[in-house]
Each structure stands twice: as C-alpha cells, then as structure tokens.
Amino acid sequence: MAAHRPRGSATSIAARASHLTPAEVELLMAAAKRRGRHGQRDATMILIAYRHGLRVSELCRMEWSQIDFATGILHVVRLKGSISTTHPLRGTELRALRRLKRERGPSRYVWMTEHKTPVTPGGFRQMFRHVGEESGIGLAIHPHMLRHACGYKIANESADTQALQHYLGHRNIRHTLRYAELASGRFDRFWKD
C-alpha cells in the first residue's frame, strides 16, 4: 500500500519526484528486511543513508573505524568537495550496526557482500530499485532520494538552515536552501486561532 502524501502541499508537488517521506523510507526498510539473507544489512544501509543524508558512494565506502560505538558517534566522510563532520548515532542505528558487526564478523568495510567484498554503489542501486518495487510505494526510486528525504525531514522539523547545511556537508548554503524553501511547516506559527 502506498504511503499517503497530502495533496496540494509544496513538498508533495515540487519535490514528489526527488525525495521520499519518512513513511516511505519505513516501507523500504521493511521490504528490505523481507528479502532474505541480506535483508538486515540492506535495511540498515537504507536507515544509515537516510538518517545521515549519505550519498551512495559515501555509504558504500563506510568503514567500521568511522563508528565510535562507545560515544555513539559516526564520523561522516563526505565526497564531492563536501565538508566531513560527525553525527550522533541513535539507539536504533547503534543496535542495527552492532547486530550487523556481530553477524558479519571482522572486516574493514561496514557493508560486505557474501563474497567478502564491499557492496558497490551499483550493487546498492540495484538492491534499492528492487526494494522500491517490492515496497509498493508506487514510485520509481533511486538512492539519492534518501539524501533528499533527510534534508526535507530536518528542514520540516527545524528552522536552523545553517545546521542542516553542516549536517549535509554543503559548502554553499544555496544547496541547502532548497529544503528550507519547500518545508511545509515554516509558516505554521504565523497565525494562531
């Protein structure tokens, strides 16, 4: 069943083709978990890409050394001239990553195939496309939609565009403004009845 999107809102019209809603991301993770022996890994990849606004190449290059389980910190290594930073890891993410590490055994990279090689960006794109088809959300999806979903979710929950800029690693705030401009909640406090 497709996730409900309100009709007529700026986000649903202008950005429908570029990002996913939080409910759609949940549907994708649930579909990934049902896919068999790599389901937990794939669902965790989707979760981490979404929560941290990672590009596919940033996700696939992620190493265990970037994760500090003791302090709950992810050292985000950005590419494409973006600014690297640190993000807090929440309980759901920490539990999923610990489980993955326990089940997969020692490796340098977080996301490994059954052949003990890192998941490639192409492999992730293919898995994501299949999960999208199986999820029933009714959209042709691509992984960069997770990065956009992160940006829109944070913009809708916070008025701090500069913090969002740093979270996504944008060097220029113009790239971040697209999320703030379409945030449906930015006018909520203008009129009170």
Other C-beta atoms lying within 10 Å of the C-beta of residue 91: 8
Which of 3, 35, 1, 10 minimizes the C-alpha distance to 155?
A: 10
**Is 130 tagged catalytic?**
no
**Is 178 tagged catalytic?**
no
Give the bridge partners for 141, in sequence order. none
Altogether, the residues listed in the chain come to a count of 193
pLDDT at 188: 62
Residue 1 has pLDDT above 50, yes or no: no
**Is 170 tagged catalytic?**
yes
Residue 54 has pLDDT above 50, yes or no: yes
**Is 179 tagged catalytic?**
yes
pLDDT at 163: 82
Residue of 33, 144, 175, 186 marked catalytic: 144
| In CATH, 10-184 is 1.10.443.10 | yes
Hunting for tokens 């539990």 — which residue is that?
Answer: 95
User: Residue type at 41?
Assistant: R
Hunting for tokens 């960069």 — which residue is that?
Answer: 144
pTM of the model: 0.83
Cα gap 154→158, rounded to integer Å: 6
Mean pLDDT across the chain, nearest whole number?
84
Cα gap 79→88, rounded to integer Å: 19
**Is 55 tagged catalytic?**
yes
pLDDT at 17: 54
**Is 144 tagged catalytic?**
yes
pLDDT at 170: 76
Contact 75, 19 (CB under 8 A): no
pLDDT of 28-49, one tens digit each? 999 999 988 899 999 999 999 9
Q: 62 versus 178: which is more confidently predicted?
A: 62
Query: Which residues, other chains included, contact 128 with Cβ-Cβ below 8 Å and sequence gap of 6+?
Result: 28, 46, 141, 142, 143
pLDDT at 159: 67
Residue of 52, 55, 78, 153 marked catalytic: 55
Residue of 147, 152, 153, 167 marked catalytic: 147
Distance of CA 5 to the CA centre of its chain: 19
pLDDT-derived band of residue 9, with 50, 70 and 90 as boundaries?
very low
What is the percent of the chain where pLDDT is above 70? Answer: 80
Residue 13 has pLDDT above 80, yes or no: no
pLDDT of 158-190, one tens digit each? 768 888 888 888 767 776 666 666 666 655 655
Residue of 80, 102, 108, 189 marked catalytic: 80
pLDDT at 176: 65
